[in-house]
């Protein structure tokens, strides 16, 4: 499976599943060594579902909790413009130690929105873990605590990441062939 086609676009293998497993292990170890108590992992759907499933199994911290959110953005009916909401946030987050699990951080716009919504819930602490990070695209100042792998500004797909909704099931991460 060195090359694949999605929506008539060719992708070539970039990060094989063996390397993904090593990256996941490294992030889990870093998180395990932090001493965060009773952490609440919040995985950002859809893209992070495989990363979250794999990393969570390697977390050995007592009283670990896991939840999932999805960011919904829609155009308001009035001139207020775009409204963002976290779907799935139905528990009290006040005073909690949150670790956000993201598949990929690109410009950081999504991350910034999630953090501002979580801050309204008066959480105690927010840490950010991402499988992939595109430093050249990042426009925000928010520190990213755990980075699996920094990559160039290439479009990638697989292991949860989609290209127009397909490709999430691929075990390896592929990048655009050019
Ligand atoms: P940001 O808000 O620009 O940081 O983008 C974050 C979201 O864009 C991610 O959670 C992904 O859903 C999507 N995204 C960014 N880069 C890629 C990519 O290379 N492949 C697939 N999805 C991506
Ligand atoms: Mg995502």
- Token readout for 63 is 């009283």
- pLDDT tens column, 19-37: 999 999 999 999 999 989 9
* E strand spans, the chain: 3-6, 9-15, 39-45, 65-75, 82-87, 97-105, 125-133, 146-150, 156-157, 173-176
> Is the CB of 110 inside a 6 Å radius of any atom of ligand 1?
yes
Can you give the pLDDT at residue 24? 98
Annotation marks residue 164 as catalytic? no
Can you give the pLDDT at residue 81? 56
Q: Does residue 161 contact residue 130 with C-beta atoms inside 8 Å?
A: no
Active-site position among 106, 136, 162, 164 = 106
- pLDDT tens column, 78-130: 445 566 777 878 788 999 999 999 999 999 999 999 999 899 999 999 999 99
> Is the CB of 151 inside a 6 Å radius of any atom of ligand 1?
no
Nearest CA to ligand 1 atom 16: 106
> Is the CB of 49 inside a 6 Å radius of any atom of ligand 1?
no
Which residues are CB-neighbours of 92 under 8 A, at least 6 positions away?
121
The CATH architecture annotation of domain 3-74+85-176 reads 3-Layer(aba) Sandwich (3.40)
Distance (Å) from CA 71 to ligand 1 centroid: 13
- Token readout for 6 is 């999605």
> Is the CB of 106 inside a 6 Å radius of any atom of ligand 1?
yes
Q: For the chain, what are the domain ranges?
A: 3-74+85-176
User: Which of 42, 84, 101, 106 is the pocket-test mutation for ligand 1 (most atoms within 8 Å of CB)?
Assistant: 106
Q: Please state the pTM of the whole predicted model.
A: 0.94
């Amino acid at each position: 499976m060195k090359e694949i086609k999605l929506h008539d676009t060719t992708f070539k293998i970039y990060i094989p599943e063996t390397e993904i497993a090593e990256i996941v292990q490294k992030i889990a170890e870093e998180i395990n060594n932090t001493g965060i108590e009773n952490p609440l992992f919040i995985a950002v759907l859809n893209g992070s579902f495989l990363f979250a499933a794999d990393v969570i199994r390697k977390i050995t911290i007592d009283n670990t909790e896991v939840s999932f959110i999805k960011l919904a953005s829609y155009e308001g009916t009035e001139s207020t413009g775009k409204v963002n909401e976290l779907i799935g946030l139905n528990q009290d987050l006040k005073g909690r130690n949150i670790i956000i699990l993201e598949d990929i951080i690109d410009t950081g716009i999504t991350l910034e929105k999630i953090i501002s919504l979580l801050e309204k819930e008066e959480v105690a602490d927010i840490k950010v873990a991402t499988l992939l990070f595109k430093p050249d695209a990042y426009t925000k100042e928010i520190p990213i605590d755990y980075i699996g792998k920094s990559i160039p500004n290439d479009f990638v797909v697989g292991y949860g990441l989609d290209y127009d909704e397909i490709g999430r099931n691929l075990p390896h991460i592929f990048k655009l062939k050019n």
